[in-house]
Amino acid sequence: MNPETYDLFSRQIPFLGMNRQEKLSKSRVVVVGAGGLGSFVSSMLVRAGIGFVRVIDRDLVEESNLHRVMIFNGSDIGKSKAFVVGKKLRDINPGGRVQGITENLNPTNSEKLLAGFDLVVDCSDNMDTRYVINKFCVKNEIPWIYGSVLKDDGMSSTFPPSGKPCFSCLYPKKPKPGSIPSCSVEGVISPVIGTIASWEVMETIKVLTRLSKPNYGKLLVVHMRKPEFEFLNIKTRNDCEVCGKG
C-alpha cells in the first residue's frame, strides 16, 4: 500500500489491520439502488476502501430526494442517480474504482450486471428487484445483504453464499402490486436510512474480511422511535422455490 492510500485509511487500519484492509481493496461489490440507502452505502463502501463499487439505479434525481440523500444537491436534479453517485465518489479513493450504471435490474440483465462480484448490497425500493437479486445470488453462491426502510422503521438481513435461508424463505409469496407500503405514501426520515445503511456496510465488511460472523439467518428489525432493535430467526423452507426443493 502506497503512502497516499495508507494516509486515507490511517484511522481504519489500526482497527481492521492491514490484511483486512488489503482484502477490502481487492473486493468487488454491487450496490443496487442509489437513493437514500444506496447513496449512503456507496459512499461508506468507497470510503472503507472497497476496490470496485458498481452502483445500479434506473431513476433520476428529484427534489424530494434532497432531504434524505446527503450526496445530492439542487444542481443534480434531473440527472441519473447512479451517474451522480459514481461521479462524486470517484475522487474519494484514488486506488479504487466506482461505476454508475443507469439501468433497471431484471431477470434479463442480472447476469450482465451482477456476475463477477463478491457481494451484492440491496438498497432498492421494491420486492421485484430483491427477488431478482435473491435468485441470481442463490444460483451463483454469492452472499447478499437486504435492506429496507419505511417511516422510522428499518429491516436488514445478510444471506449466505450457501443460499440457505434465502430471501424467498422469508417472503415466499410475491406481494400483489400496490400491497406493500411505499416511502412516497407513508414517508421516511433520514435517521433510519443512515442506521440501516451503516448496518449494511458493517455486514459487508464482516463478510469480506471475516472480521466477525455476519448476521446470517436473522432479520434485523429497527424501530427508531421506541427505540428498539429486534432479531428474528429466518427458517430455511424445504419447499422454497429458490433454495429448496420447490
pLDDT tens profile 186-205? 889 999 999 999 999 999 99
Report the half-sphere exposure of 207 (CA within 13 A, side-chain side): 26
Per the CATH hierarchy, to which homologous superfamily does domain 3-233 belong?
NAD(P)-binding Rossmann-like Domain (3.40.50.720)
Give residue 204's identity as a one-letter amino acid code.
T
Q: What is the CA 210 to chain-centroid distance, rounded?
A: 18
Task: Give the per-residue pLDDT at 240.
Answer: 97
| Of 146, 150, 148, nearest in space to 184 by CA | 150
Residues 155, 71, 34, 225: what is their CA dihedral angle, to the nearest 10 degrees? 20
How far apart CA 10 and CA 2 sit, in angstroms, is 12
pTM: 0.95
Return the C-alpha cell found at 212: 466477525
How far apart CA 160 and CA 189 sit, in angstroms, is 29
With a CB cutoff of 8 Å and minimum separation 6, the contacts of 227 are: none
179 against 134, higher pLDDT? 134
- Locate the domains of the chain by residue range: 3-233
Q: What percentage of the chain has pLDDT greater than the value 70?
A: 99
Rg (CA), the chain: 17
